[in-house]
Structure 1
Amino acid sequence: MTSDFNSGLIRVSAEAGVAMVELNRPESLNALNLEMIKGLCCSLKELCSSDEVEIVVLKGAGRAFSAGGDIKMMLAKGDESDFSEVMDSINELAVTLYSMPKITLAAITGAAAGLGLSLALATDYIMAERESKLAMNFIGIGLIPDGGGHYFMKSRLGETKTKHLIWEGKQLTGAEALDMGLIDEISDENLEEKIAQKLGEWQQKPLQAMIKTKKILVEDNRASLLKTLELEKYAQSKMRQTEDHKEGVKAFLEKRKPNFIGK
């Protein structure tokens, strides 16, 4: 089974019950634009209906897992319907990835930031290089996490630690993220070998029983996730209109520290 969606933005290959899904914009550190978001969602939905695949590994091509949402997409001057399409596509992707009737693993190399980190958190198991860089860094441009970031972080860290990490926008190494409980495992040397070892362990287990447990938990949590996604969409719309967001984007482009005023 192979797939090449959207001129190679998403690469999918499968062998022995394992599908490898690769974000493929290495020149942009796999920043997620609308075309890529839709392509990834489409590819994951195809895998959901495949009886040949039981495990899905999500990874990034090149030096990063994903640097997050594409800054050009964020700066695009569109009407509210354009913004709504982007957020609806992000929300559909988050639900699709979280609820896949497969065991999912995120393999983090380099950066996993913003929306990229939200996607990793939507998987069942996160493995990262020790020195990878993880950040929920929306606060730096006056925005709030999307892609279910609030929900997925809270499920791993609890409410208080989630608030503090989002407010700080702190960048964590893989080792720091593991200590905090944000991810599940780190690799000191060869991440691919570590992943292969984990896949081998899973393939020795009754995977359908594992997937059934996942389905039960997903259904129990679905309403809460959907509510969080709608709240994120509403809040993003409001935050995009603030002076702090405009200043944050300007400072980012000018590579300087933003001067926020709380408005």
Structure 2
Amino acid sequence: MTVSNHYETVKLHKEGRVARLRLNRPKSLNALDAGLMKDLLAALKEVKKDPDISLVILTGEGKGFSSGGDIKSMLTLSGEEQFTGVMDIINELVMTLYCMPKVVVTGIHGAAAGLGFSLALASDYILCEEDSKLAMNFIGIGLIPDGGSHFLLQERLGTHKAKRLIWNGKVLDGQEALMKGLVDEALPSGKLEVGLQRYMKQCLAAPVKAMLKTKEVYVTLNKERLQHALELEKEGQWLMRQTGDHEEGINAFVEKRKPEFKGI
């Protein structure tokens, strides 16, 4: 059976045992504003409840997966209460994605930056195209990663390498990301869908209940650590938003110039 359900900014398509979710704000490179995050959370909860779905595939419409948090909408946040509300949505979104009792696969083309990259890291398997641009680039505006990335990067890289990646904010292409262990496959440009179809068939031909039981064991072992990391990120991000370096980073971004940080 085939079912399609379009939220305002997320396309959801179910066919057989597979649910495909597409971020759908292509004009903004699928920048994550509150509306998109709420739609994605609602779509994930719908899929989570569906007993017929075994595999979830997350991709982005248009020229990229996601450019990250929507900085323009971030600038409109006034006060700690509004900020906390947005961070709570982010945290629930990441926990729902990470704990999803399905195999979750992310397919990346173009940009996967900041919070967009965090969402990808919360999935079980990541494919990207070789010319993709992946970046944990919060440092560029004087912030720390959120979306659970401190925990998720530590899981993939170990603490020391995770710190280095976070601190330099370097943009990586698909092959570099594969070599570092940040993604699981790097495909030639334009071949993402071929890779997704191949991996989908591989999963559907496997004893998926056994795969999901293994996932459940790891989720049970790790979910409290992830929740703690998300709370620490929320506290830390609010503090960083009060710094002079964050103000300078935002001004430089808006003015399209290199920031001059002073460590304040």
Shared fold per TM-score greater than 0.5: yes
Q: Which runs of 5+ in 2 are unaligned?
A: none
What's the CA shift for 1:135? 0.1
What's the CA shift for 1:186? 1.1
Write the mapping of 1:39-58 to structure 2, written as runs, cut at 5 A.
Answer: 39-58=39-58
Partner of 2:196: 195
1:215-237 deviations in whole A, cap 9, x for unaligned?
A: 11001101100000000000000
Write the distance in 1 (CA, Å) between the matches of 2:34 and 2:56: 22
2:106 maps to 1:97: no
Write the distance in 2 (CA, Å) between the matches of 1:16 and 1:45: 18
1:138-171 deviations in whole A, cap 9, x for unaligned?
A: 0000000000011111100000000000000000
Partner of 1:121: 121
What's the CA shift for 1:4? 1.4
What's the CA shift for 1:74? 1.4
1:105-146 deviations in whole A, cap 9, x for unaligned?
A: 000000000000000000000000011000000000000000
The one-letter code matched in structure 2 to 1:83 is F
Partner of 1:245: 246
2:216 maps to 1:215: yes
What's the CA shift for 1:77? 3.8
Write the distance in 2 (CA, Å) between the matches of 1:56 and 1:160: 31
For normalisation by structure 2, the TM-score amounts to: 0.98
What's the CA shift for 1:28? 0.2
SS in 1 for 2:22: strand
What's the CA shift for 1:48? 0.5
Give the superposed CA RMSD.
0.7
What's the CA shift for 1:73? 1.7
Partner of 2:69: 69
Partner of 2:35: 35
The one-letter code matched in structure 2 to 1:123 is S
Write the distance in 2 (CA, Å) between the matches of 1:73 and 1:229: 21
2:172 maps to 1:181: no
Write the distance in 1 (CA, Å) between the matches of 2:233 and 2:112: 20
SS in 2 for 1:64: coil
Partner of 1:3: 5
2:227 maps to 1:226: yes
What's the CA shift for 1:194? 1.1
Write the distance in 1 (CA, Å) between the matches of 2:166 and 2:235: 17
The one-letter code matched in structure 1 to 2:259 is P
4+ residue runs over 3 A deviation: none
Partner of 2:147: 147
Write the distance in 2 (CA, Å) between the matches of 1:163 and 1:77: 28
SS in 1 for 2:178: helix
Write the distance in 2 (CA, Å) between the matches of 1:2 and 1:99: 24
Partner of 1:19: 19
For normalisation by structure 1, the TM-score amounts to: 0.98
What's the CA shift for 1:2? 1.9
1:146-203 deviations in whole A, cap 9, x for unaligned?
A: 0001111110000000000000000000100000011100111411011101111111
SS in 2 for 1:2: strand
SS in 2 for 1:104: strand
The one-letter code matched in structure 1 to 2:199 is K
Partner of 1:160: 160
Q: Which runs of 5+ in 1 are unaligned?
A: none
Among all aligned residue pairs of Structure 1 and Structure 2, give the percentage whose two residues are the same amino acid: 51
Write the distance in 1 (CA, Å) between the matches of 2:179 and 2:156: 12
CA contact (8 A) 2:77 2:83 kept: no
SS in 2 for 1:21: strand
What's the CA shift for 1:239? 0.2
